[in-house]
Amino acid sequence: MIHPTAIISPNATVAEGVHIGAYTIIGDGVTVGAGCKFHSHVVVESNTTIGEGNEFYPFASIGARTQDLKYEGEPTSLVIGDRNVFRESVTIHRSTSKTVPTKIGNDNNFLAYAHVAHDCEVGDHCIFSNNGTIAGHVVVGDYAIISGLAGVHQFCRIGRHSIIGGCSKIVQDVPPFTIADGSPAELRGVNLVGMKRRGFNKEEVREVKNAYKAFFLDKEQNMQTPLENKTEATGLIAEIRDFIIAAEGRGVTR
């Protein structure tokens, strides 16, 4: 299962049954879980932990040193979950922080040339289309889609079940369940297709539509209060409201 031209550090831990293709390099301190497949010319650098069932295509660079200019060479790390796909020339960098790694969840699909920078956190079931790029300290929620050639500014949050249009420039947080598009991006509506595909029922879709109208279309609505002047919001309405309240620094895309 290991090609004779592959180079594996004696300080790496590789589970049984892992396929490692030609000219692949597995560096010091790397841990690889069962069922992973590395096609040819993949590079995995130090202090990277990889779960089970991941697949890496040629020229992917995984766990490379952060590009953050504040980095002074201290040991940092990258943690990858299970069943992710990293297509050709994808780049995933280790963190700058010594205590908090860059994190990739489970069941994500990173298409060619996608980039995840230092100190990012990507949830589960996300799609990064070709050249989808996130800068440092970005948080991406579950089932989010970053379309081709889109770029996300550092410290932004991408809410779960949201979608970012192709070639978009994201400079503020993108709320859950929404569509953001443009340069700079603006909200274009609710991600109805995505919600339908993920099995949300009609009542949940109605909640999100109402929240979207109140928080983003009604100019007189106070975004820190629930809809209909209730003392408490519940469900998806509360999730969107709380996401807005938690925005710091860069604000929320509208």
| Residue of 27, 136, 148, 151 marked catalytic | 136
DSSP output for 162-178: -EE-TT-EE-SBB-TTE
| Residue of 27, 82, 105, 119 marked catalytic | 119
Tell me whether residue 119 is one of the annotated catalytic residues: yes
Q: Cis link prior to 184 (omega < 30° from 0)?
A: yes
CA 45 to chain CA centroid, Å, is 20
- Beta pairing class for 185-190 and 178-182: antiparallel
Contacts of 77 (CB under 8 A, 6+ apart): 47, 48, 49, 63, 94, 95, 101, 102
Residue (of 116, 121, 75, 80) closest to 96 by Cα position: 75
| Residue of 39, 41, 118, 137 marked catalytic | 118
Angle of CA points 154, 159, 160, to nearest 5°: 135
Contacts of 66 (CB under 8 A, 6+ apart): 76, 93, 94, 95, 96, 117, 118, 119, 136
Residue 249: left (phi > 0), alpha (psi -120 to 50), or beta?
Answer: left
Phi, psi for residue 202 in degrees, rounded to 5: -65, -35
Tell me whether residue 93 is one of the annotated catalytic residues: no
Residue (of 40, 36, 29, 57) closest to 6 by Cα position: 40
Tell me whether residue 161 is one of the annotated catalytic residues: no
Query: What are the catalytic residues?
Result: 118-119, 136
